[in-house]
A and B are shown apart, each in its own frame.
Chain A
Amino acid sequence: MAKTRKKEKITGAKALLYSLIEENVNTIFGYPGGAIMPIYNELYDIEDNKLNHILTRHEQGAAHAAQAYAMVTGKTGVCFATSGPGATNLVTGIANAFLDSVPVVFITAQVVSNLIGSDAFQETDIQGISMPVTKWNYQITQAKDIPEIISKAFFIAGSGRPGPVLIDITKDAQMQTLAFDYQKCTHLRSYNPNIPLNPADIESAAILINHARKPLILAGHGILLSKAGKELKAFVEKTGIPVASTLLGLSVFPSRHPLYAGLLGMHGNYGPNIKTNEADLLIAIGMRFDDRVTGDLKRYATNANIIHIEIDKSEINKIVEVDIEIHGDAKEALKALINKVNANSYPEWLSEFKSCNKIETAKVIKQECYPSRGEIRMGEIVSLISEKTQGEAIIITDVGQHQMATARYYKFKNPNSFITSGGLGTMGFGLPAAVGAKIGKPNVPVIAFIGDGGFQMTIQELGTIFQYKLPVKIIILNNNFLGMVRQWQDMFFDKRYASTELINPDFVKIAEGFDISGRRVKERETLEISIDEMLSREKSYLLEIMVEKEGNIFPMIEPGSSVSEIKLC
């Protein structure tokens, strides 16, 4: 542990900022308030090129933006909020990052330490509130603890299975002085994220892989988090095993690769779902058998041995009993496996996936992506954008029908180019996530698909886009419904559309107020030209597209059904 900065006497607030610089942070998303003022006061003196602060319009927006920033850059995101309501407004964002294993360090301010517990103005027990949705949290009441705790926070957030960490700092700790001395945290006695692989597990896994006749890889977010896209590709190309992706695993493997089998889960592709129960081996990598992926567990993977490569031991055997557990980092495990597995190919097995794809194309994809009449479909919009951007854009979604359409029909080329809210399913994630993604990757086009419902949950972040002149492209797929809930009401609640119809404002006019150009598209004839116009603009743009009012997303594995009972219509 090398000393990285000479001792000098500074305030706790400044020590926090210096600590962030030591951790190579250069971007912070946040919102000031009373208790955090000493920190913002010190931030005022630090040049923007060292620490660039992005002022969102709501703390929830800052939290989602910090998460999306982390997802596109592979760095740990940082988010500031004040005490009380500032801190509680973060909670949805923290929970979202927790469920999707994204490293974000949240800094909240707290009332002065002698007022804690007195129900002081803007006091809330954020440590208690955030406990179940953080990987770790801590309250600092003395300035001298700041460097050590911040270095711990970054070590914990970014290592092992990443996740959000919250550090609550009392106002007096921000104002006290300390002799600043920063040492990077490299290990903790109670937490060792670097788990050595067990060679015996690798051997047994290789034997199973080499003997399988119908193997299938289930690729999850863990591969992206361990930056193992290359290793996955090498492993797949050597073994010839088809790859299916979870929602959050999307973009880790190129969608147009001949061995890409498609999306898993409730609204995933026909082939990978139905073949899950025909496969004789599932190789699950960095995924956690979410209920949206498995359907009815009693009838899941009925013919398969399961190899589970997973860094979080508590996920192994949590949902499904596996045959071989490889507890460790996905990158290391894939590297080790590549040397042990035989080069192979499964032409017959692959042709079964192709037949499934033909069926799905005929029954779903054709009508959804290439309709010639009727109202505009979500699928055709996503397909057009996919073609026109050649899969090179960073795609953001909110949550709902448009999210499923985007996940299904965009053809991804590059890792970390799909940013969505998976585990928590947070409506309102899309717009602030687009802010974070654009700031993280200013040179890559960022396109956000958002529903008319979710857009209005965090619509205020148009202000952030305006203030920082962020050239994000916003596509509102507007069906004047909370579409996914309406679909369930249609299918399971006798079409009783309780509180799902939205009477919407004029989104283009609202955007205009934020100096964002826009257009509303109602007819298929003007769809392509409008998309071209949006993509040709250098500035931000809002395209509102009126889509089929009562369109349903298919295929679908209905709740309680097995993956093999996936419905095409």
Chain B
Amino acid sequence: MSLLEIRDLHAGYGQMMILKGVNLTLEEGEIGVIVGPNGAGKSTTLKAIFGMLNITAGSIHFDGRDITGMSPEKLAAHRIAMVPQEDNVFPTLTVHENLEMGAYTRRDDFSHVLDEIYALFPPLKDKRRQPAGELSGGQRQMVAFGRALMIEPKMILLDEPTAGLSPMYMSEIFDRVIAINKTGVTVAMVEQNAKQALAIAHKGFVLANGHNSYTDTGRALLDNPEVAKSFLGG
């Protein structure tokens, strides 16, 4: 059984339907990358998994359980975490408090996870007493990742993690994603930088007009001349 299984998902905001039949499966330990033109429904797919919009048809199963339309609170208990694209830290809370908030749904002792995250993102340890809003874009992204990792997720959803970052940070972010994935966390990621993202993906999903245009391994999509022509800028 696959870890994540989305079948024929139809969803949208109010009356406006954005997803019109998205199919997506990820095995445990994989990196799945969703690419496609603006307005294709990439971010919407992540938000639909996270119970943030109206699902009218289709289903989402995680680890064998139906999580269709489940609230973020309950998803945390199923150990699914999400890093939104923008405004993904609490700016007036310190770095440390941001991480603590990530563990809000945990009632057990999570100090070992804090240590692991500071080890994964060493710059954060020095700035732990600083408000997250004062950090640079790249460091804020580390806080956002760290916050999501506090529940020790089985799967992490990343919505355009490199958006607005300089190219220097971009490859660093991809390195972090690979590092997180190496610890056994399944990653579902939406990316604008399709080529770089597909290069690290086990599976790629090209969305257009709210449904899958192409679904294949990351490598195969990169090598597919049609995909390259229509979606990867030649």
Task: Please determine whether chains A and B interact with each other in the same assembly.
Answer: no
Chain B interfacial positions (CB closer than 8 Å to A): none
Chain A interfacial positions (CB closer than 8 Å to B): none
